[in-house]
Amino acid sequence: MGAFKDNIERSWSDEELEDIERQKMEYYRSFLDLGHDKRLFVKVDDKLPRRVIGPHTIMSFTTEWRAYLMTVWGASEEHGKSSTMEAGWLPEMSRDAEGAKIDPSNADGLYKGPSRGHVQPRYAQLIGMPRGYGYGASMGAWILDYLTNWGGEWCFVLHSNMQYRSPALTGDVTHLDGEVVDMNYDDPSGPIATVKVVMTNQDASVMASGQAEVRLPSQD
């Protein structure tokens, strides 16, 4: 609970923010310039371009969460009794399924439930976070998006095994770096690249790391 007690939100100068935006544009061009072409001739030791995300804000965490179809009211339905309380969850971080039959916000998650700490500092601090944070699905989505941006529309992420180490907090900037560590040409559907991914913040603290297998297109 005290791991983040001394973590103060970072302030960025105008010059630093301008440089962050420049790095973002360089990253976008790295795969948009590929257009609809296939990414061919990939080899071991190839470096993926660095991706910069942030600085994170309550607004960015909220819009990312709302991008998931499962967060649309009425888009999904739970069956059976919730096990969150049996798993040791706090009442403040659990959904009210009965109340949601009248007011859907009671099961929204972001308003009332397990995700509210991401965007409500009061509940972030209740579970030991200093302020709004991104974790879990958000970090996983950043990694998958990073891999597919690099591979292009002809690629397919077969498997991703990432270990989460530390969350992204409001005010933080996230860096994604990747490297091809293995190539397998035995699959008839196309070469498979094993890509090592490391996610860090502005202080070079590791937030997540692991490897993924990406099937790339053949030349045919």
pLDDT at 1: 62
User: pTM of the prediction?
Assistant: 0.88
User: Residue 174: what residue type?
Assistant: T
Closest CA to 64 of 171, 163, 137, 131: 137
pLDDT at 113: 82
Over its length of 220 residues, how does the chain's per-residue pLDDT go in tens digits?
Answer: 677 778 889 999 999 999 999 999 999 999 998 888 999 899 999 999 999 999 999 999 999 888 888 778 777 666 666 656 666 678 888 888 888 889 988 888 888 888 888 999 999 998 889 999 998 888 999 999 999 999 999 999 999 999 999 999 999 999 999 999 999 999 888 999 999 999 999 999 999 999 999 999 987 7
- Do residues 146 and 176 touch, judged by C-beta distance below 8 A? yes
Distant-in-sequence, close-in-space partners of 159: CB < 8 Å, separation ≥ 6 = 212, 213
Q: Given strand 192-201, what is the order of strands in its sheet?
A: 47-53, 174-184, 192-201, 206-215, 156-164
Task: Give the pLDDT of residue 85.
Answer: 61
Q: What confidence score (pLDDT) does residue 107 get?
A: 82
User: Can you identify the CATH homologous superfamily of domain 14-57+133-215?
Assistant: Hotdog Thioesterase (3.10.129.10)
Q: Is 13 exposed, middle or buried (0-12, 13-18, 19+ CB in 10 A)?
A: exposed
pLDDT at 173: 97
Kind plus residue range of the DSSP H or E element containing 105: none
For residue range 68-87, list pLDDT tens digits in order.
Answer: 887 787 776 666 666 566 66
Determine the pLDDT at residue 143: 97
Q: What is the domain partition of the chain in residue ranges?
A: 14-57+133-215
